[in-house]
Chain A
Amino acid sequence: MSRLAVRNAWSAFMICVAAACAGIAALLLAIIVLYVLSKGAGALRPTFFTQIPRPVGIPGGGVANAILGSAEIIALASIAAVPIGTAAGVYLALFGRGRVAASVRFLSDVLTGVPSIAIGVFAYALVVLPARQFSAVSASVALGIIMLPIIVRTTEEAVRLVPHTIREGALALGIPAWKATLLVTVPVARPGITTGVLLAIARVAGESAPLLFTAFGNPQWSVGLTHPIAALPLVIFQYAISPYKDWQQTAWGGALVLIALVFALNLAARVALRSRFAR
């Protein structure tokens, strides 16, 4: 065989290997989704979304309190993490030259790698211990800390991609620097920033470890910030390891809801990114 033929054969072989790997990855995902769907779809009665859990053996009941609790914790975490994270990202991208910026960048990279359970312990020491109480707010602190570095780095990347000639054009019109940043540069980067925020939310939506000793879980309706609160991942954990059939099914249902949520967030992130050059 000539060299070229050998190369072409090798190339074709490697393409097959790569395609097979991609196929395996996609297949695994499909199996997980289908399995959860088959196990959990039965749990998704209307009461699943409107009622709180009932005692074992009593039919009906749902995880409405956990869905609401998760929404509350995530919303609260976002309210804190999104403004801080995007502001830090814009700062790093536009003015981040000195040593302070380098350390912020390094710290947020380290923070990305810290296991989420360690961040949970941190929030426990920071909020739960002084207050002597598990609380929604402590869970939001933990999730917010996890979201922060993701938002910072994606925002920085998105703003960095905006050509500096755009900003110069604004400055040359006599537009003050802060307005040029907020009203000209950041809007151009907004699709990328939105994507980062949505991915950060998707990331923490499924976190259970940091909630174990912060939100703690709550079988009742509870929305108080300073009280233990139910959360979807916690309910899934508790119910899945319970010996009761109907609780286990509820856990599958919860898992299905979570997967759907993460899927929706990822989809939204893609749509946001695609609208980059549309108005």
Chain B
Amino acid sequence: MKQELRTDRLSAFYGAHCAIRDITMTFRPKSITALIGPSGCGKSTLLRCLNRMHEVIANTTVKGQVMLDGSNVYDSGIDTTSLRRRVGMVFQRPNPFPTMSISDNVLAGVRLAGDVSDRSTLAEIAERSLRRAALWDEVKDILNRPGTSLSGGQQQRLCIARALAIEPEVLLMDEPASSLDPISTMKIEDLMREIKTDFTIIIVTHNMQQAARVSDFTGFMLAGEAAPGELIEFDESSKIFTTPQDKRTEDYITGRFG
């Protein structure tokens, strides 16, 4: 499978308010794309449009297309549940399911969305996902404790393991390290580098060094005073962070505004 994901003149609205306008970009399979830009420029909105989580909020609409392997995910025949199994998501704040144990959290997707119920298969999936998320060693003896009993950084890696367990093709990460200490952050960055051989990763971050460190491509977004967010520049990260073509990109990454 090529796992090619691209947007075509994608616009998203909250009621009448347009949050992003005419975003056209292609996400290279099996690589990491970073989305950067000042607060409120629509990074989260763009991310949520990719797996149709935008429409979970009331009164929202989307225009344009999101193409996954050649078909528009906004076509009427598309089933959002199977789309979201292919395009997984990790949220800005860890959100483990409070009534579930650590292992139940990891397996929530395969149990409730898929139809895996064989015990040994489930145990394998749990271990593999937790190992990938660099959490296994810390929780292997306490798999039956509540997911919420972990520290914030561990909870975030638990949520990553939960997203990996359903074997998505694309993984969307909305500032996954924003509430984490440097060590947890590093673990998550290592993890991203490791899993990009299997997944297409799109990460929103406010941390310029992080974007430069882990991403292959970077998109810079910007919104005007009352204007919706737009994609200003999109290129290989090495170019964006060394020789940006647009003055606004340069101002932003050198910290002159935003």
A279 and B99 form a contact (CB under 8 A): yes
Separation of A176 and B85 alpha carbons in the complex (Å) = 11
* A188 CB contacts on chain B under 8 angstroms: 97-99
How many of chain B's residues touch chain A, expressed as a range?
Answer: 20 to 34
Interface centre among B83, B84, B97, by most chain A C-beta atoms within 10 angstroms, is B97
Cβ-defined contact, A174 with B109, below 8 A? yes
Residue-by-residue, is B184-197 near A (CB-CB < 8 Å gives 1, otherwise 0)? Answer: 00000000000000
Would you give the shortest CB distance from B77 to chain A, in whole angstroms?
A: 17
Q: Are A175's CB and B109's CB within 8 A?
A: yes
Asked whether any CB of chain B lies closer than 8 Å to the CB of A21, the reply is: no
Task: Please provide the chain A residues from 151 to 203 with a CB less than 8 Å away from any CB of chain B in the complex.
Answer: 163, 165-166, 168-176, 179-180, 183-184, 187-188, 190
**Does A99 touch B at the CB level, under 8 Å?**
no
- Counting CB contacts under 8 A, is B71 at the interface? no
- CB of B43 within 8 Å of the partner chain: no
By the criterion CB–CB under 8 Å, are B81 and A172 in contact? no
Cα–Cα, bound, A184→B108 (Å): 9
Interface membership of B159, Cβ < 8 A: yes
Assess A171 versus B108: contact at CB under 8 Å? Given A166-B98, A176-B113. no
Is B226 part of the contact surface with A, judged by Cβ < 8 Å? no
Inter-chain CA distance A183–B100, complex, in Å, is 10
List residues of chain B with CB within 8 A of the CB of A183.
Answer: 112
B159 near A169: Cβ-Cβ < 8 Å: yes
A117 to B227, CA, bound (A): 61
Distance (whole angstroms) from the CB of B53 to the closest CB of chain A: 6
Residues of B within 8 A of A169 (CB): 91, 95-97, 159, 162
Q: Is the CB of B146 within 8 A of A279?
A: yes
B81 and A176 within 8 A (CB): yes
Query: Which of B58, B89, B95, B108 sits near A175, CB closer than 8 Å?
Result: B108
In the assembly, what is the distance between CA of A179 and CA of B58, in Å? 19
Interface assignment of B101: CB less than 8 Å from any CB of chain A = yes
CB–CB A168/B113 < 8 A: no
Q: How far is the CA of A171 from the CA of B55 in the complex (A)?
A: 11
Q: Which parts of A185-243 form the interface with B (CB within 8 Å)? A: 187-188, 190
Chain B CB within 10 Å, residue with most, of A168, A172, A176: A172
Q: What A residues does B93 contact at CB under 8 A?
A: 165
Q: Is B148 an interface residue (CB 8 A)?
A: yes
Among B58, B148, B159, contact of A277 (Cβ-Cβ < 8 Å): B148
Residue A3, interface by CB 8 Å: no
Distance of A166 Cα from B95 Cα, bound (Å): 6
Interface status of A132 (Cβ within 8 A of chain B): no
| Contact indicator per residue, chain B 20-59, by CB within 8 Å of chain A (1) or not (0) | 0000000000000000000000000000000101001010
| B97 close to A171 (CB less than 8 A) | no
Residues in B60-115 with C-beta less than 8 Å from chain A: 80-85, 88-89, 91, 93, 95-99, 101, 108-109, 112-113
Known: A170-B112, A173-B84. 12 other contacts (CB 8 A): A165-B91, A166-B95, A171-B53, A171-B56, A172-B84, A173-B166, A174-B83, A174-B84, A174-B113, A175-B108, A176-B113, A190-B99
Q: Which residues of A contact B (CB under 8 A)?
A: 97, 163, 165-166, 168-176, 179-180, 183-184, 187-188, 190, 277, 279
Interface residues of B (CB under 8 A from A): 51, 53, 56, 58, 80-85, 88-89, 91, 93, 95-99, 101, 108-109, 112-113, 146, 148, 159, 162-163, 166
Q: List 10 A-B contacts (CB under 8 A).
A: A165-B91, A166-B97, A166-B98, A168-B91, A171-B84, A172-B88, A172-B91, A174-B81, A175-B112, A188-B97
